[in-house]
Amino acid sequence: MTRAISLHDVSKSYTRGTRVVDRLSLDIEPGEFLVLLGPSGCGKSTVLRMIAGLEEIDEGELLLDGEYANDLMPADRRIAMVFQNFALYPNMTSRDNIGFPLRIEAPGEDPRPRVDTTARMLGIEDLLDRFPAQLSGGERQRVAMGRAIARHPTAFLMDEPLSNLDAKLRGHLRAEISALTRELGVTTVYVTHDQAEAMSLGDRVAVLRGGVLQQVGAPRTVYALPANVFVAAFIGIPRINLLRGLVRAPLDGAMTISLGKQYLRLPEPLCLDHQLLRVQQGREVIVGLRSEAVRIAEPAAARPGEVHITGLVEHVEFQGHEVLVHFNTGSRPAVVPDLEAPRPVPPVRRRRRDPGTVLDRLRTRAGTLRAGPVVTLEHPADPDPDPAPPDGRLPGDLIVRTTPDIDLRHGMQVPLLVDIAHLYVFDQHGERICPAPDRLPDLEE
């Protein structure tokens, strides 16, 4: 099948030597809703603008409906873009705003029938004679959507279209966008830094970090089988617990992962995934535990595959329907440094009298060309043995979700059961070891 949009090894630099999009390859099927997800500054909008023809592609190929499109003028791409700031003409009514691109495309034709059909579809018939200043944020966004739809484009490109709206309206419009694009069957590329939005909208989610594609897959797959620790940490609320661990695999004893003051004993017989961990013997790894993998219960209540640890309550976060409990388990959190705002490394300027060795220069150049490992435990970004909690997290190295009826207070020592079937292990560079990378998604777990 011909792909609606294909990017082959596409790169883009704004300043020489710093790629903000680095060899991106992505195939988007006709009618698919693909979300580009990543922290601010990771190159999402740049990708969208290259597809729209608003930004030149430095290297690589863009195909639209199977045709080479790098040099196609934006107007010839039959693509409609919806922006964060709505971009409506303030001196035009909604009717004229929606009809404007139609008048440009087909000057002799009366745009009214198409404007009326679009307005009916969006339920904005009664807003057609108002100017943007007389509309609420949500209404303006509907008009902006109308302008995009009325053109009958072959693809929608949406750049954080909901981020200027309040949470309630965002949820509402999110559902509308999803229903509308599916009804129209138009290929959509949607940019957001909000993982919840990405997970609820996308047929597939493509996660970017520092201009480099980390993983692309269905929302359930990127959640259940994140390619690396960056994807694991970026997707899911509350954020996955990431602890520094040490694999101990004695030939004559049980295999454990030490978490500082406590350890996880891997149940025997070892499953295939855990047998693969043997090669990590004596090495530091990152243990990932989503909040649903840990529950508060006595050791006697352990089900098969659950192992016991304890935690000291550091903070109780009341959320209404549930409570997030922050425990101190005596382990050290693993910090994923550029979770919020990875920036491409600018080239290091050397003074002329100190050109460095050839190897130095090659290293510097390589550093600017690839995003590098997600996290490096050999050379921790923060050498402080007791670092501040990452990403503004409250104290405690392990967050557990529980029901509001459990009475927990600061300073209590609490028994915990960890479900080893939901254990993630990442290597020193942040790549996933467990579940094994070639394991097929078992999404019913």
Residues that bind ligand ADP (CB under 6 A): 14, 20, 38, 40-46, 343
Name the minimum Å distance from CB 342 to ligand ADP: 9
Name the minimum Å distance from CB 297 to ligand ADP: 42
- Choose between 37 and 199: whose C-beta lies nearer to ligand ADP: 37
- Choose between 230 and 327: whose C-beta lies nearer to ligand ADP: 230
- State which amino acid sits at residue 161: P
Tell me the C-alpha distance between 53 and 32, whole Å: 20
With CA atoms as reference, report the closest residue to 38 among 371, 384, 387, 307: 371
Q: Which helix (H) or strand (E) holds 101?
A: helix 94-105
- Choose between 44 and 204: whose C-beta lies nearer to ligand ADP: 44
Name the minimum Å distance from CB 37 to ligand ADP: 9
CB atoms within 10 A of CB 121: 16
Name the minimum Å distance from CB 343 to ligand ADP: 6
What is the Cβ-side half-sphere exposure of residue 2, based on CA atoms within 13 angstroms? 7
Tell me the C-alpha distance between 368 and 362, whole Å: 10
Name the minimum Å distance from CB 144 to ligand ADP: 18
With CA atoms as reference, report the closest residue to 280 among 257, 264, 260: 257
- Choose between 121 and 196: whose C-beta lies nearer to ligand ADP: 196
Name the minimum Å distance from CB 84 to ligand ADP: 10
Structure tokens at 113: 């029938």
| Helix, strand, coil tally for the chain in percent (to 5) | 30, 30, 45
Name the minimum Å distance from CB 42 to ligand ADP: 4
Name the minimum Å distance from CB 87 to ligand ADP: 16
- Choose between 46 and 280: whose C-beta lies nearer to ligand ADP: 46
Q: Tokens 């000291």 map to which residue?
A: 312
- Choose between 23 and 308: whose C-beta lies nearer to ligand ADP: 23
Q: Is 418 exposed, middle or buried (0-12, 13-18, 19+ CB in 10 A)?
A: buried
Q: Is 246 exposed, middle or buried (0-12, 13-18, 19+ CB in 10 A)?
A: middle
- Choose between 187 and 192: whose C-beta lies nearer to ligand ADP: 192
Name the minimum Å distance from CB 193 to ligand ADP: 7
Name the minimum Å distance from CB 101 to ligand ADP: 24
- Choose between 84 and 280: whose C-beta lies nearer to ligand ADP: 84
Q: Which helix (H) or strand (E) holds 256?
A: strand 256-258
What angle is formed at CA 45 by the lines to CA 39 and CA 46, rounded to 5 degrees? 115
With CA atoms as reference, report the closest residue to 373 among 412, 334, 318: 334
Structure tokens at 43: 């190159």
Q: Tokens 């992962």 map to which residue?
A: 257
- State which amino acid sits at residue 237: I
- Choose between 42 and 212: whose C-beta lies nearer to ligand ADP: 42
- Choose between 93 and 188: whose C-beta lies nearer to ligand ADP: 188
Structure tokens at 76: 């010839």
With CA atoms as reference, report the closest residue to 59 among 48, 70, 68, 67: 70
Give the dihedral of Cα atoms 290, 296, 300, 306; nearest 10 deg: 0
Q: Are 371 and 209 in contact (CB under 8 A)?
A: yes
